Amino acid sequence: MRKIRQFMKDCKLGFGWIDKHTFGLYSFDKKEVKINIALALVDIFIHEYMHETNPNATEKQIMKKTARKLHRLKRSELNEVGRFIVAEFNYQLELYIQKRKAGES
Ligand SMILES: [Zn+2]
């Protein structure tokens, strides 16, 4: 963990779309980690959706189904799911901030 902590200090961390198969990229020359956070969020969501639609599947089967579904979704469809997740996250974050503020006064 000590080496990871050092890397957290040394690296540059960036976020952005890469492609629908790539969760992250590392650039040695820039010492930059780029995270495709939209794809990671959509992957998690589709994984949980696969549990909903395949209640008896094993975790391994769910992971296979998730990968297959992700690869079949169009960029616009991935965007649609991503926007849904981000909107919901922002909404819940706003509620949390409001509750914190109400508690302070
Ligand atoms: Zn699962």
Distance 47 CA to ligand 1 centre (A): 6
Distance 60 CA to ligand 1 centre (A): 8
Gap between the Cα atoms of 8 and 46, Å rounded: 29
Distance 66 CA to ligand 1 centre (A): 10
Tokens of 21: 């198969």
Give how many domains the chain has, as a whole number.
1
* Residue 71 Rama label (left phi>0; alpha psi -120 to 50; beta): alpha
Q: Could you report the per-residue pLDDT of 24-69, keeping only the tens digit for each? A: 999 999 999 999 999 999 999 999 999 999 999 999 999 999 999 9
Stated pTM of the model: 0.83
Distance 16 CA to ligand 1 centre (A): 25
Q: Could you report the per-residue pLDDT of 7-25, keeping only the tens digit for each? A: 999 999 999 989 888 999 9
Distance 32 CA to ligand 1 centre (A): 30
Q: Which domain holds residue 19?
A: 2-104
